[in-house]
Amino acid sequence: MSNYVANIDYIIIFLYIIMLITIGIYSYRKDSTYTDFMLAGRGMTTPMLISTMVSTYYGLDILFGSSEMAFNDGLMAFFGYALSSLAFYLFVAFYMSKKLRSANFVSLPEILEKTYGNKTSSIGAISSMVYCLPTTSLFALGRVSEFVFGIDANYGALLLGGIALGYTLLGGLKAVAITDTIQFSLMCITVAVGVPLLIHEV
């Protein structure tokens, strides 16, 4: 165990993990169809959608990589990196979303299959899986578990990653969206409190 973490911290972490598992079980009981599991029944609200997208997108790569780019390049980092991503999101939201919804597509490989056939769909599925592998997140989980619990980073990544995988497999997108909304709120609070404290220390 870490000398820098108090008992109350362990209690909070334990309760948080229990909450994640409970949300997974709750969502599992609510999911009755494939669409419920994969797309949360197509019933996500705008605040929940924004929360899950932001908390998913803003990982270690964004926190350190994009922040460093903005620090080094200034405003040009926005035009060179962020603007293109923002433009794509807006294009999908205002132009493609209605067409995709009306066609009842569930996943990207399904779109590729209907348009280009099974082989392209398989390639798309494999590419998406490789692209979405949470390598940086697992690395962060391992380092956090090593610091907090004093266990090997590899075992910590497997343990905490297994918990995340567990509630995802149980509750599908609905469970992920609920937990992401909670994590988004915690991220905002942490940044709002942490940044002024860090600036004060500097």
**In terms of pLDDT, which residue wins out, 31 or 53?**
53
Q: What is the pLDDT of residues 171-199, one digit of tens each?
A: 888 888 888 888 888 888 888 888 888 88
CA angle in degrees (0–180, nearest 5) for 120-125-128:
120
Q: Where are the alpha helices (DSSP H) in 7-59?
A: 7-30, 34-39, 46-57
CA 185 to chain centre: 13
Residue 31: CB partners within 8 Å, gap ≥ 6? 37, 41, 171, 172, 174
User: Do 166 and 24 form a contact (C-beta atoms < 8 A)?
Assistant: yes
pLDDT at 2 over 60: no
Q: How far is CA 59 from CA 43, 74, 97, 125, in A?
A: 25, 21, 25, 23
CB contact at 8 A, 134 and 60: no
Nearest CA to 24 out of 178, 162, 181 is that of 178
CB-based burial, 173-187: b 16+ in 10 Å, e otherwise = bbbbbbbbbbbbeeb
Q: Break the chain into its structural domains and give their ranges.
A: 7-102+134-201
How confident is the model at residue 172, as a pLDDT? Answer: 86
**pTM score over 0.75:** no
Residue-level pLDDT at 123: 92
Phi–psi pair at 104, nearest 5 degrees = 60, 35
Q: What is the pLDDT of residue 61?
A: 61
Per-residue pLDDT of 62-99, as tens digits, reads: 666 667 777 787 777 777 677 777 788 788 878 877 77
Instruction: Give residue-wise pLDDT tens across range 29-41.
Output: 777 787 788 878 7
Q: What is the pLDDT of residues 114-165, one digit of tens each?
A: 889 889 989 988 988 887 777 777 888 888 888 888 888 889 889 888 888 8
